[in-house]
């Protein structure tokens, strides 16, 4: 099996450049049924091996069969396309997920079958009908000859000399100088892609007195609404309830509200941080200080807050200090209090910049 890539081993050391006339041995046997037939192919007979007519005929039939299958599958594709209407007026329509699954399967299945059959037909064709090929061709000698190289070098240097770029430095240097502003122009043009950060990353829309509302229902929360062990994702109450908060405001202001037994607060909470809580209710930024995923996976038994993206883990009972994972800073805490009606409101902005740590996150402006 392994030694039949070339049936004529006597020729194996022979090297021949494609395009030179075939040798006298072109009348070598190429097929059993016609041992003395002259070769008709584009490549030398001793390198390609014509298959017996019988094999070729069988190959032709097989390949054609595949192409016929491809044709039928292609027709099936069109049928599938028109079988399922697009808009929801008709039933069944592809807007219904179950119908969509059928439509997708039939369209994709027929298309895949058609494509596969064409591929299979072509492969049978090349393997059964075409002669068996393994022809040789030289690798080009890649480096140019010394002669060519020196000729080029001489030509090029003479040209450079003639242009004056070598002996007229003023010309050369002023041209380079002229390029500098032009090279910087694209950078300058990109300036208006966005505003400068300023202190925007360091403050949010939380203000003293802003109501905490349940995200999704915009319901205000009373302190007694929460029982120990509860948690809820909250946002600041929007000024304009019609339009709600912008995405940017949500992204920076989103907060998780956790109520635990006040006795559970650990030594990690400073006096200030304890003052920012209310009756065991503590509010932390929901945005992870690692790369900014919402970290909200709160376990009421361990008081851990876990970020599902990269598993930074914060201890809610100890000022959201990092207890595991890649984050570095604790989650910023939102000071809260109750207003005269008993509703939870913010007592100011977050204790630190929310979100991923950046260069000047720890620097006061």
Partner 1 sequence: MSDNQAPQAPKALRGIGNYIDDRFHLAKTAEKNLRKVFPNHWSFMLGEIALYSFIILLLTGVFLTLWFNPSMSHTVYEGSYERLRGVEMSEAYASTLHITFDVRGGLLVRQIHHWAALIFVASLVVHMLRVFFTGAFRKPREINWLIGVAIFSIAIVEGLFGYSLPDDLPSGMGVRIFQGVLLAIPVIGTYLSFFMFGGEFPGEAIIPRLYMLHILLLPGILLALIAAHFIILWYQKHTQYPGPRRTEKQVIGTPMFPGFALKAGGFFFFTFAAITGLSAFVQINPIHLFGPFTPTSITSGLQPDWYMGFLEGSLRLFPDWFDFDIGGYAVVTGVLVPGLGFMGLLFGGLAIYPFLEAWITGDKRAHNIADRPRNVPVRTGLGAAGITFYGVLWLAGSNDILSHTFQISLFATTWIFRIALIVGPILAFIITKRICLGLQRRDRATLEHGYESGTITQLPGGEFIEVHKESSPETVEVLQSAKYQGFRTVPPTVDANGVESPAARGFLGKLRIRLAHWYTKDNVSFEDVVPHSALHGEQRTEEKAGQH
Partner 2 sequence: MKWITARRRHPLAGYVVVIVALAFLGVGYAFISPTSNHAVADTVAAEQGEVDIANGKQIYTQSCMSCHGEDGKGRTKEETGSAVAWGPSLEGVGAAAVDFYVRTGRMPSADPNVQMPRRPQVYSDQEIADLAAYVESAFGGGPGIPYDVPGDAPQRGEFGSDAEYEAALAEYEKNYAAYVGGGDVETGMRLYLTNCAHCHSWSGAGGALTDGRWAPELDEASPRDIYEAMIVGPGAMPVFNDDTISPEDKQALISFVKNLQDEPNAGGPFSLDRVGQVAEGFIGWTIGISLIVACAIWITAKQRAHD
**Contact footprint for partner 2 (CB under 8 A):** 1-2, 4-7, 31-32, 49, 51-52, 55, 97-98, 100-101, 104-105, 108, 119, 123, 126-127, 132, 214-217, 219, 221-222, 224-233, 258, 294, 296-302, 304, 306, 308, 313, 324
Q: What is the DSSP letter of 59?
A: H
In the complex with partner 2, the residue whose CB is nearer, 62 or 297, is 297
**Min CB(202)–partner 2 separation in Å:** 25
**Min CB(324)–partner 2 separation in Å:** 8
Separation between Cα atoms, residue 107 and residue 79, nearest integer Å: 9
In the complex with partner 1, the residue whose CB is nearer, 265 or 353, is 353
Separation between Cα atoms, residue 280 and residue 211, nearest integer Å: 18
The binder of 51, among partner 1, partner 2, none, by C-beta within 5 to 8 A per type, is: partner 2
In the complex with partner 2, the residue whose CB is nearer, 202 or 354, is 354
In the complex with partner 2, the residue whose CB is nearer, 105 or 160, is 105
**Min CB(233)–partner 1 separation in Å:** 7
The binder of 327, among partner 1, partner 2, none, by C-beta within 5 to 8 A per type, is: partner 1
The binder of 252, among partner 2, partner 1, none, by C-beta within 5 to 8 A per type, is: partner 1
> Of how many residues is the chain composed?
365
Region of residue 132 (phi > 0: left; psi between -120 and 50: alpha; otherwise: beta): beta
In the complex with partner 1, the residue whose CB is nearer, 195 or 267, is 195
The binder of 170, among partner 2, partner 1, none, by C-beta within 5 to 8 A per type, is: none
Structure tokens at 209: 């007195």
Q: What is the DSSP letter of 145?
A: P
Return the SS3 of 132.
Answer: strand
Other CB atoms within 10 A of residue 42 CB: 7
CB within 8 Å of 73: residues ≥ 6 apart: 110, 111, 113, 114, 117
Separation between Cα atoms, residue 125 and residue 200, nearest integer Å: 67
Separation between Cα atoms, residue 210 and residue 346, nearest integer Å: 5
Return the SS3 of 55.
Answer: helix
Instruction: Please report where in the chains the tokens 């007195």 appear, as a residue.
Output: 209
Return the SS3 of 76.
Answer: helix
Return the SS3 of 9.
Answer: helix
**Min CB(43)–partner 2 separation in Å:** 14
**Min CB(191)–partner 2 separation in Å:** 37
Report whether 292 contacts 306 (CB < 8 A): no
The binder of 55, among partner 2, partner 1, none, by C-beta within 5 to 8 A per type, is: partner 2
The binder of 92, among partner 1, partner 2, none, by C-beta within 5 to 8 A per type, is: none
**Min CB(359)–partner 1 separation in Å:** 5
The binder of 354, among partner 1, partner 2, none, by C-beta within 5 to 8 A per type, is: none
**Min CB(8)–partner 2 separation in Å:** 9
**Min CB(175)–partner 1 separation in Å:** 28
Return the SS3 of 133.
Answer: strand
In the complex with partner 2, the residue whose CB is nearer, 26 or 175, is 26
In the complex with partner 1, the residue whose CB is nearer, 116 or 343, is 116
In the complex with partner 1, the residue whose CB is nearer, 282 or 288, is 288
Report whether 341 contacts 274 (CB < 8 A): no
Q: What is the DSSP letter of 150?
A: H
The binder of 49, among partner 1, partner 2, none, by C-beta within 5 to 8 A per type, is: partner 2
């Amino acid at each position: 099996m392994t030694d039949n890539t070339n049936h004529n081993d006597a020729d194996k050391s022979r090297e021949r450049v494609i395009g030179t006339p075939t040798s006298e041995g072109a009348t070598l046997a190429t097929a059993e049924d016609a041992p003395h037939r002259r070769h008709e192919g584009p490549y030398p007979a001793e390198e390609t091996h014509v298959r017996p007519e019988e094999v070729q005929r069988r190959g032709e039939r097989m390949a054609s069969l595949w192409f016929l299958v491809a044709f039928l599958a292609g027709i099936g594709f069109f049928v599938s396309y028109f079988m399922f209407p697009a808009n929801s007026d008709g039933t069944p329509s592809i807007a219904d997920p179950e119908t969509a699954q059928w439509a997708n399967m039939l369209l994709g299945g027929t298309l895949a079958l058609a494509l596969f059959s064409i591929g299979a037909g072509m492969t049978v064709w090349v393997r059964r009908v075409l002669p068996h090929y393994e022809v040789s061709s030289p690798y080009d000698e890649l480096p140019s000859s010394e002669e060519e190289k020196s000729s080029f070098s001489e030509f090029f240097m003479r040209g450079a000399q003639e242009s004056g770029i070598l002996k007229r430095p003023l010309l050369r240097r002023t041209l380079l100088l002229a390029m500098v502003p032009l090279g910087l122009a694209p950078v300058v043009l990109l300036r208006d892609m966005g505003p400068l950060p300023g202190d925007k990353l360091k403050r949010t829309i939380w203000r003293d007195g802003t109501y905490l509302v349940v995200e999704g229902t915009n319901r205000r929360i009373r302190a007694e609404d929460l029982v120990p062990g509860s948690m809820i994702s909250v946002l600041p109450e929007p000024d304009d309830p019609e339009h709600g908060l912008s995405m940017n405001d949500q992204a920076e202001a989103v907060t998780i509200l956790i109520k635990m037994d006040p006795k559970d607060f650990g030594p990690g909470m400073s006096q200030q941080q304890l003052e920012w809580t209310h009756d065991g209710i503590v509010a932390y930024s929901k945005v992870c200080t690692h790369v900014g995923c919402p970290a909200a996976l709160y376990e009421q038994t361990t008081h851990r807050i876990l970020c599902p993206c990269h598993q930074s883990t914060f201890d809610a009972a100890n000022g959201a200090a990092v207890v595991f994972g890649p984050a570095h800073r604790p989650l910023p805490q939102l000071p809260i209090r109750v207003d005269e009606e008993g509703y939870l409101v913010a007592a100011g902005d977050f204790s630190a910049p929310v979100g991923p740590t950046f260069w000047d996150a720890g620097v006061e402006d």
